Amino acid sequence: MIENPDCIVVANGLFPQKKETIDLLRDNNCTIIACDGAINNLDCIGITPDYIIGDLDSLEDKYKLKYSDRLIKVSEQETNDLTKAMMRAKDFGFKNIIIVAATGLREDHSLGNISLMSVYKEMFDSVCMLSDFGHFISISKTTTFKSLAGQQISIFNLPPLSELESEGLMFPLNKHKLPIWWEGTLNQSISEEFKIIVKQPNANIIVYFSDVVKDNF
């Protein structure tokens, strides 16, 4: 996961409950951009975002008044609110982004947001999508990852499908394309790092790191 983000984008999915994530949101050194639907949860725990972005149609009048100095209205409907927030983060010049509350609640929104990681990786130096259960990152080339022995790892290969190989995983990939998403799930790291070897250019690989670590793997 990104250790020193310069911006956190808060979507309107399942709001984090883990203390570590709440503490990250309270870090005054990190700019918070909230999708307009996320302000209810942030306000309830006393966190004031630096910016609130969206069409603002569903934003309650009390929040429009309270946060009038940080509202950014984006009316176009060609992108979802998360992408609107990410595009503004890029405009502001942020480089290392953590996204929270982008999954959960509605499965269709979760899948859509996770798939967008392959778009966001082209916009920033590093992007991580964090939940209370783990985190997603996206890659397009051969990459070595730090991990824990026994950490649960899932790999999703989006079009254009690339042949994949691996080192340091319990179930090795050997020119696998993983055309059906379940085929890359529930793998495990067997040491403190593993490698995913990408055989074709312009790949769209999304890697999920579960917080679950098996002691006897």
**Tens of pLDDT, residues 103-126:** 999 999 999 999 999 999 999 999
Cα–Cα distance measured from residue 216 to residue 85, given in angstroms and rounded to the nearest whole number: 41
Question: What does the pLDDT read at residue 110?
Answer: 96
**Confidence label for 217 from pLDDT (cuts 50, 70 and 90):** low
* Cα dihedral 155→158→160→161 (10° resolution): 40
pLDDT at 214 over 90: no
Tens-digit pLDDT profile for residues 122-142: 999 999 999 999 999 999 999
Residues 6 or more apart in contact with residue 166 via CB below 8 angstroms:
172, 173, 194, 195, 196, 197
**What average pLDDT does the segment 61-68 reach?**
94
Q: What is the pTM of this model?
A: 0.94
Q: What is the pLDDT of residue 184?
A: 97
Are 39 and 48 within 8 A, CB to CB?
no
Domain ranges of the chain: 7-132, 140-213
CATH of 7-132, one of 3.30.465.10, 3.40.50.10240, 3.40.366.10, 3.30.420.240: 3.40.50.10240
The residue ranking higher by pLDDT, 1 or 180, is: 180
Residue 76 has pLDDT above 90, yes or no: no
What mean pLDDT is reported for the chain?
94
